[in-house]
Amino acid sequence: MPPRQTLLASGTQSKMSRPDLPQLVALFAQECRIAFRGATFWSLAAASALVAAWRAATPGTTSAIAAYRAAEVILLGLGVLAIFLAAASAARDRRQRAAELVLAKPQGSSPSLVLLRFAAVWVSLAVISAIALAATSLAQISVSGTAWHPYPYAHALARTLLPVGLAAALGFSLSTIFTTSLASAVAAIYWVIIPLTRPHVATVFDLTLSQHWPFAALLTALLMLLTAAFYARPIRDRGPATAHLGWAVALLLLAASVAAYSVATNGADALLDPDPILSAIAAQSCLADPRAPGFWLPDAHGRLIALSDHTNRPIVLTFWGPAVGESARSLILIRNLAAESRSLGFARIAVCVDRDRAAMQPFIGDAGSDTVMLWDRGRHFGDGTYAGDSPAAVAYDVGELPTTFILDRERRVTGRIIGDASPDRVRAEVTRAIGR
Amino acid sequence: MQVEITGLRKVYPGGVVALKGLDLTIPPGIFGLLGPNGSGKTTLMRILATLLEPTAGNARVGGYDVRTEKASVRELLGYLPEEFGFYPNLTAYEMLDYLALLGRINDPKERQARIEQSLHRVDLDQVTGRRVGTFSSGMKRRLGIAQAILNNPRVLILDEPASGLDPEGRVRLRDLLAELAGDRVVILSTHIVNEVASIAQRLAILRRGQCLFRGRLSDLLEPLKGTTWIIDINEDELSRVRQDFEVTGVFRSATGMQVRVLANAMSHPRGHATEPTLDDAYVALMNRDAAQTDPPCERDAEQDEPA
């Protein structure tokens, strides 16, 4: 037998080489071609575009609101589909019986192939998101009658990339490691259940929140590195999925420990870093509603709460400021009134008007746990101009803090109390609102 | 360039023993692996193709260990599995381009030339732009062969390459393999005896993970010379002939039936001597091995397995 050096130098083998950048680029282009071709990609793109556009096609919807609603569709709907799409991509060789052809090639089981495949899926999901946002944009221009602005759409695309990428990584890695779609289905159920039960779950569990982007990026990287390492093993010796359950359980326990630590050190729900863009987008709906100005405002934890979440009952809406002494008294008074007069059945929303969101934290106890505490501090991007720090307060024409509004079941303003509110006055206004 | 296999064992999870300490040296040329279903041919090929880890023993392809030097082995290899598929949405050209990239044929011009040459060799150069999903099973098999020869491999491993090919395709495959052989190692497996006889210079016959024969076809046939006979019989005589002789084949003729048998001397009045074929040798080997081996041989081998 000739020595190895001779073998490598002989014949055509010398033309082959280690993967270089042009080869990786060519391979990535091929992976993208595979991801983009076929009915699945276009069906998903069409469905996402239709749903997103339908949610934006309402008169008065601004670019910011339309983009925010499209982002919701992408994060929830496309996020779930991304899990299955990526799982299908990871199982492609198995499904098409091409695994042995691929794995017998020098680069067939290389980590770079796994990462390129995942990147191609991610790119295809980003393109679907862009198509959905473009459709939303068209719907807004043609139906809403409001000024179109590109910034909210660009922002919506940017803030969906990581969570959707994380969803894809979950599907890709679970499908590769467990070789069953059942694991992806569990991830998909989790992906839907947690955001839908958002008010009752600590935000640390909600992977769709764009505020979690460092965590999402870290988790995505970890999952893909694990998958790449796993993929490099010979195909027939990977053993049954149960052999890896130990690792999965260990990882889950680790994640649960991190979550438990987070809850223990930060309370039930950790304060998230404020996302000023999110607040700005949310506050745009002040301009979109013909009745009492509607809004989406972030609570103390960065979750967006809509006024329209509280329908079919009167609302006592208090604008207050931590620096104004009477504010705290009003909050306590309304809390006591709600406790005494449960039959009135009104909802309490307290909107803090202040630059520092953390300043409202000490007053949460005063307002009572049933009071929805929101933060009205944003910038106005609806028509592209700067319009003030507290758009909800501006929309309600609040000149003085505290100011309490009484809204009836149809969200019409039936009463307005400026300054310190007396229990009798509030009770009378609420009774009047119910009576209408 | 050769393939060396030493004491190769493979026990699958669950205790199924596929290979029981196989020793084999495969020199350049066409080498046939013959054996019934479940004899370990595919397991051996997968181990050589670095897709499967052996339980014990060693295999070296061109001097490289299949266990520890996978990347080097894969660079030398062209491999066609018995069962495979392609991505149906890609065209034949795109599919080969993808596999060529995985084969690290990095230069675009060289890649294009290799793809065109491979497609031409398997007579698919008229359908390069057609999606693979629309191909017949024979065309897919030919495309499989094209991808295996794409990197001009020094060692070509073909698992049942003629399966699904029409007669013309089989002839073309035979010609192609004869052309490719030269100083390359071409290993092809089949359970169809005649396929090997027509093409392979050397062969090994496997059964239940053990090698019953290794060597040239002539070495296999030599001991049977003078012991192979054809008997012309009526249909009623078949069961009696089976009792009296070791039958290796039964054929219908214009006048009745012909039976090929092995015997040191011919006692039947209508028996006449003939030249031994690979079929005769194969059946004789299988019959003798079956007579010598206890049926639950997997269990025996399992007990031998170190803890």
Please tell me the predicted confidence (pLDDT) of residue A119: 95
B55 with B166, same domain: the answer is: yes
Task: Give, as one character, the DSSP assignment of residue B50.
Answer: T
Q: Is residue B272 part of a domain?
A: yes
In chain B, residues with a C-beta closer than 8 Å to the C-beta of A235 are 51-52
A262 with A299, same domain: the answer is: no
CA A61 to CA A139: how far, in whole Å? 10
Nearest to B154 by CA among A375, A11, A42, A136: A11
Give the structural domain span for B104.
Answer: 3-216
Residue A100 and residue B49: Cβ atoms within 8 Å?
yes
B271-273/B228-233 β-pairing: antiparallel
Residue B102 and residue A1: Cβ atoms within 8 Å?
no
Tokens of A373: 């505490």
Tokens of A29: 């282009």
Nearest to A63 by CA among A221, A250, A255, A285: A285
Nearest CB to B98 within list A3, A22, A30: A30
What H or E segment, with its residue span, contains residue A12?
none
Q: How far is A102 from chain B (nearest CA, A)?
A: 7
B166 with B210, same domain: the answer is: yes
Please tell me the predicted confidence (pLDDT) of residue A156: 87
Tens digit of each residue's pLDDT (9 = 90 or more) over A262-277: 666 655 444 444 455 5
Nearest CB to A97 within list B50, B83, B147: B83
Residue A104 and residue B74: Cβ atoms within 8 Å?
yes
A231 with A359, same domain: the answer is: no
Which residue among B195, B216, B237 closes a domain?
A: B216
Q: Is residue B88 part of a domain?
A: yes
Q: Does B71 touch chain A (CB under 8 A)?
A: yes
**What is the number of CB-based contacts under 8 A between chain A and chain B?**
126
Residue B85 and residue A108: Cβ atoms within 8 Å?
no
CA B273 to CA B260: how far, in whole Å? 10
Q: Is residue B93 part of a domain?
A: yes
Q: Specify whether the CB–CB gap between A295 and A377 falls below 8 A.
A: no
Bridge partner list, A298: A304
Kindly report the number of other CB atoms within 10 A of residue A1's CB atom: 12
B43 with B146, same domain: the answer is: yes
DSSP string, B205-269: EEETTEEEEEEEHHHHHGGGTT-EEEEEE-GGGHHHHHHHSEEEEEEE-SSSEEEEEE-SS--ST
Residue A16 and residue B99: Cβ atoms within 8 Å?
no
Q: How far are the Cα atoms of A236, A237, A240, B39, B298 from residue B14, in angstroms, in the given order?
A: 13, 12, 11, 17, 11
Q: How far is B230 from chain A (nearest CA, A)?
A: 44
Picking from A42, A100, A112 by the largest number of B CB atoms within 10 A of its own CB, the best residue to mutate is A100
Kindly report the number of other CB atoms within 10 A of residue B188's CB atom: 26
CB contacts under 8 A, B 42-61 vs A, are 46, 49-53
Picking from B42, B96, B106 by the largest number of A CB atoms within 10 A of its own CB, the best residue to mutate is B106
The tally of domains found in chain A comes to 2
Which residue among A214, A233, A266 closes a domain?
A: A266
A285 with A395, same domain: the answer is: yes
Please tell me the predicted confidence (pLDDT) of residue B186: 92
Q: Specify whether the CB–CB gap between A350 and A401 falls below 8 A.
A: no
B135 with B252, same domain: the answer is: no
B131 with B240, same domain: the answer is: no
Q: Is residue A163 part of a domain?
A: yes
B103 with B244, same domain: the answer is: no
B244 with B122, same domain: the answer is: no
Phi-psi region of B62 (alpha: psi -120 to 50; beta: other; left: phi over 0): left
Of all residues in chain B, the one with the smallest CA distance to A31 is: B98
Cα angle B95, A84, A231; round to 5? 60
Tokens of A231: 């993929």
Q: How far are the Cα atoms of A167, A250, A369, B262 from residue A184, in angstroms, in the given order?
A: 10, 18, 37, 60
The tally of domains found in chain B comes to 2
B228 with B155, same domain: the answer is: no
CA A334 to CA B97: how far, in whole Å? 72
CA B43 to CA B25: how far, in whole Å? 17
Which residues are within 8 A (CB) of A299 and not within 5 positions of it... i.e. 6 or more apart?
Answer: A305, A372, A373, A374, A375
CA-based end-to-end distance of chain A: 99
Q: Is residue A1 part of a domain?
A: no
Please tell me the predicted confidence (pLDDT) of residue B255: 76
CA B13 to CA A255: how far, in whole Å? 32
To which residue do tokens 């009045």 refer?
B269
Please tell me the predicted confidence (pLDDT) of residue A206: 77
Residue A108 and residue B74: Cβ atoms within 8 Å?
yes
Q: Which residue type occupies A254? A: L
Q: How many residues does chain B have?
A: 307
Q: Does B84 touch chain A (CB under 8 A)?
A: yes
Q: How far is B200 from chain A (nearest CA, A)?
A: 21
Q: Is residue B82 part of a domain?
A: yes
A284 with A189, same domain: the answer is: no
B211 with B113, same domain: the answer is: yes
Nearest CB to A106 within list B2, B81, B104: B104
Query: Which segments in chain B show pLDDT lower than 50?
Result: 294-307
Residue A30 and residue B51: Cβ atoms within 8 Å?
no
pTM of the model: 0.73
A182 with A121, same domain: the answer is: yes
Q: Specify whether the CB–CB gap between B169 and B142 falls below 8 A.
A: yes
CA A64 to CA A72: how far, in whole Å? 12
**SS3 string of B67-130?**
CCCHHHHHHHEEEECCCCCCCCCCEHHHHHHHHHHHCCCCCHHHHHHHHHHHHHHCCCCCCCCC
A319 with A245, same domain: the answer is: no
Q: Specify whether the CB–CB gap between B44 and B205 falls below 8 A.
A: no
Q: Is residue B250 part of a domain?
A: yes
Tens digit of each residue's pLDDT (9 = 90 or more) over B200-255: 888 899 988 888 888 888 888 888 888 888 988 888 888 888 888 888 888 887 77
A309 with A407, same domain: the answer is: yes
Q: Is residue A3 part of a domain?
A: no
In chain B, residues with a C-beta closer than 8 Å to the C-beta of A12 are 151-152
A95 with A135, same domain: the answer is: yes
A323 with A240, same domain: the answer is: no
A259 with A281, same domain: the answer is: no
Q: Is residue A4 part of a domain?
A: no
Cβ contacts of A188-193, under 8 Å, gap ≥ 24: A188/A80, A188/A83, A188/A84, A191/A76, A191/A79, A191/A80, A191/A83, A191/A167, A192/A76, A192/A80
Q: Specify whether the CB–CB gap between A368 and A335 falls below 8 A.
A: yes
Q: Which residue type occupies A219? A: L
To which residue do tokens 């229990």 refer?
A423
Residue B87 and residue A240: Cβ atoms within 8 Å?
no
Which residue among A246, A266, A286 closes a domain?
A: A266
Q: Is residue A245 part of a domain?
A: yes
Which residue among B176, B194, B216 closes a domain?
A: B216
B29-34/B17-26 β-pairing: unpaired
Please tell me the predicted confidence (pLDDT) of residue B298: 38
Instruction: Give the residue numbers in A contacting B (CB under 8 Å), as ranges.
Output: 1-4, 7, 11-13, 15-20, 22-23, 26-27, 30, 33-34, 37-38, 92, 96-98, 100-109, 113, 234-237, 239-240
Q: Is residue A338 part of a domain?
A: yes
Q: How far is A23 from chain B (nearest CA, A)?
A: 6
Which residue among A266, A285, A320 closes a domain?
A: A266
Query: Which segments in chain A show pLDDT lower than 70?
Result: 1-19, 198-204, 211, 232-249, 252, 256, 259-260, 262-291, 302-303, 355, 368-369, 377-390, 435-436
Q: Does B115 touch chain A (CB under 8 A)?
A: no
Please tell me the predicted confidence (pLDDT) of residue B99: 95
Q: Specify whether the CB–CB gap between A144 and A67 falls below 8 A.
A: no
Picking from B42, B87, B137 by the largest number of A CB atoms within 10 A of its own CB, the best residue to mutate is B87
CA A173 to CA A231: how far, in whole Å? 10
Please tell me the predicted confidence (pLDDT) of residue B267: 80
Order of all β-strands in the sheet with B64-65: B17-26, B3-11, B56-61, B64-65
Q: Does B77 touch chain A (CB under 8 A)?
A: yes
Q: Is residue A14 part of a domain?
A: no
Residue A102 and residue B102: Cβ atoms within 8 Å?
yes
Q: How far are the Cα atoms of A18, A110, A112, A193, B240 from residue A104, in angstroms, in the given order?
A: 16, 11, 15, 41, 51
A53 with A194, same domain: the answer is: yes
CATH number of the domain residue A343 falls in = 3.40.30.10
Q: Is residue B35 part of a domain?
A: yes
Residue B87 and residue A2: Cβ atoms within 8 Å?
no
Q: Does B179 touch chain A (CB under 8 A)?
A: no
CA B241 to CA B248: how far, in whole Å? 11
Bridge partner list, B56: B9
Q: Which residue type occupies A200? A: H
B145 with B243, same domain: the answer is: no
Q: Is residue B156 part of a domain?
A: yes
Give the structural domain span for A404.
Answer: 276-435
A47 with A179, same domain: the answer is: yes
Q: Is residue A62 part of a domain?
A: yes
Q: Is residue B64 part of a domain?
A: yes
CA B155 to CA A405: how far, in whole Å? 83
Q: Does B110 touch chain A (CB under 8 A)?
A: yes
Which residue among B216, B235, B269 closes a domain?
A: B216
Q: Does B156 touch chain A (CB under 8 A)?
A: no
Nearest CB to B151 within list A2, A7, A16: A16
B192 with B136, same domain: the answer is: yes
Helix axes A213-231, A150-178, angle to 10 degrees: 30
Picking from B4, B79, B84 by the largest number of A CB atoms within 10 A of its own CB, the best residue to mutate is B84
Please tell me the predicted confidence (pLDDT) of residue A3: 39
